[in-house]
Amino acid sequence: MRALWIAAATLAAGVAQAEVPDANAGEWYFARYCAACHGMEARGDGPMQEILTVQAPDLTQLSASNGGVFPVIRVVRQIDGRDPMLAHGGEMPLFGELFSFSDAAIPAETGQPIVTAQPIADLAAWLESVQE
């Protein structure tokens, strides 16, 4: 029981130091690392689309296809490679190590915190902001 308490306190201390997700930073990361395939407005129409074997999805429809709730857990897990997608080859093909920054905790759609790298938290915040 004591070990569980110490682990929880350590996690809480780390979360307290994490930055709040920044959608503006997320937009920058998206433009720099995601837009080639997903398009500048995240609609799946990036310039690399012509050579992709799998259509890049319209990321502005994630909430609409999830009962009106932004799927934070699914988004984070697909970006960081915990829930690999065949189209991404696992973690994002070129950027897996790039997103290995300090941790951030963001609330999942269930309200529970999900821990990920700060740039991924920023990307998720921006993607949530562009939902239609």
Residue ranges of the alpha helices (H) in 34-71?
35-38
Structural tokens at position 83: 């829930």
pLDDT for the residue 8: 44
Query: Domains along the chain?
Result: 2-129 (1.10.760.10)
Write out pLDDT tens, residues 50-76: 998 888 999 999 999 999 999 999 998
Are 124 and 105 in contact, with CB atoms under 8 Å apart? no
The string of DSSP codes covering 82-106 is SS-BGGGTBS-TTTTTTT--SEEEE
pLDDT-wise least confident of 11-20, 64-73, 114-123: 11-20
Are 38 and 26 in contact, with CB atoms under 8 Å apart? no
Left, alpha or beta for 111 (phi > 0: left; psi -120 to 50: alpha)? Answer: left
Mean pLDDT of the chain: 81
Mean pLDDT of the 109-114 span: 90
* Confidence (pTM): 0.77
| pLDDT band for position 18 (cuts 50, 70, 90) | low
Distances (CA, A) of 127 to 14, 47, 59, 61, 75: 25, 19, 7, 10, 9
C-alpha closest to that of 69 among 57, 80, 61, 79: 61
